[in-house]
Amino acid sequence: MELQNTQVMHRPLTLTTTDPATGVVTTIPVPAGDVFFAAASSPSLGVAIANDAAGNQELVVNALVIRSDATNGGGSISVTVTDSNGDAAGELTGADAIDIVPHPVQPVVTIGAPTFTTQPAPTAPGP
């Protein structure tokens, strides 16, 4: 996925279990004391664990370089999240791996040089 170099991406972190019989995935509360860790496959991507507004741990990802994608031999940066309880890691890989792309330049309204035509003098005195 693309991450613009002016974007900071926040992603919630949860723990899940999967019922082996039905495949149903259940989200369970993160136990107190379980601490998440994040690592990126490239130093061009900043990754950290922070608390969101509700106090839950979240993954924070941001660009540390202007561009890192296939055009300059970078990109496809994977992110791995582990925790202190040793649960199965969460990963951003494949289509979820990060390409850092420049923030698109926004168009600016520019007023050009003047040219002139004529009209009758207005009748109202002003101001």
Partner 1 sequence: MADDINPARRDELTAARDKLVPIKRGLEDSVLTNISENLRSAYAHWLESVTRRMALIDNELAWMDSLNIHHEMLLDDGYPKDVQAILEPSLWEELQREQADHEAARAIFREAQAITIGAPTFTSQPVPDKPGP
Q: In Å, how far are 4, 25, 61 from 70, measured between CA atoms? A: 14, 35, 19
How many residues at the interface with partner 1, by CB under 8 A? 47
Minimum gap (Å) between residue 26 Cβ and partner 1:
10
Closer residue to partner 1 (CB): 22 or 123: 22
State the nearest-atom distance from the C-beta of 2 to partner 1, in Å.
Answer: 11
- Give the single-character DSSP code of 34: -
Per-residue contact string for residues 13-42; x = within reach of partner 1 by CB under 8 A? xxxxxx--------xx-------x-----x
Using a 10 angstrom Cβ sphere, with 0-12 exposed, 13-18 middle and 19 or more buried, the burial of residue 76 is middle
76: region left, alpha or beta (phi > 0 left; psi from -120 to 50 alpha): left
CB-side exposure of 125: number of CA atoms within 13 Å?
Answer: 0
Interaction residues for partner 1, span 76-115 (CB under 8 A): 79, 81-83, 85, 87-92, 96, 100, 102-103
Is residue 7 a contact residue for partner 1 (CB under 8 A)? Answer: yes
State the number of CA atoms in the 13 A half-sphere of 91 facing the CB. 10
In the complex with partner 1, the residue whose CB is nearer, 24 or 124, is 24
Contacts with partner 1 by CB under 8 A lie at 5-18, 27-28, 36, 42, 44, 59, 62-69, 72-75, 79, 81-83, 85, 87-92, 96, 100, 102-103
